[in-house]
Amino acid sequence: MMQEVREVNVHLKMNEKGKDVLEFCFGQPLEIKLNEEKTDSMEKVFSNLLEILIKEKIELKLKIEKDYSKKLFIDVATAYVDDLNKEIKKIKFE
């Protein structure tokens, strides 16, 4: 029996503090702050991704906030989510 693929939305947006973020919509949303060098938030996102992958198949779906206009971050986020999806497929299907 084929397992259904769960879609996880990833929002590129400006948060309430005016920071550019990628918000991963797990049970509780987690943000990767694009304007900071800290990796704490990225580690939490990857940890959640791995926990989910143990149980089910997922695919990340990038959603760009309607008023968001920073082209560089749009390009980077698009490539990042595409690359993550490729790596998720390798991990899950190997």
pTM of the model: 0.87
Q: What is the pLDDT of residue 89?
A: 86
Q: How does pLDDT run across 63-81, given as a tens digit for each residue? A: 999 999 999 999 999 999 9
pLDDT at 50 over 60: yes
Residues 70, 73, 78, 83: what is their CA dihedral angle, to the nearest 10 degrees? 180
pLDDT at 2 over 70: no
SS3 state of residue 68: coil
What average pLDDT does range 51-69 have in this prediction?
A: 92
pLDDT at 82 over 80: yes
pLDDT, averaged across the chain:
89
Give 67 or 2, the one with higher predicted confidence: 67
Structure tokens, 41 = 């938030």
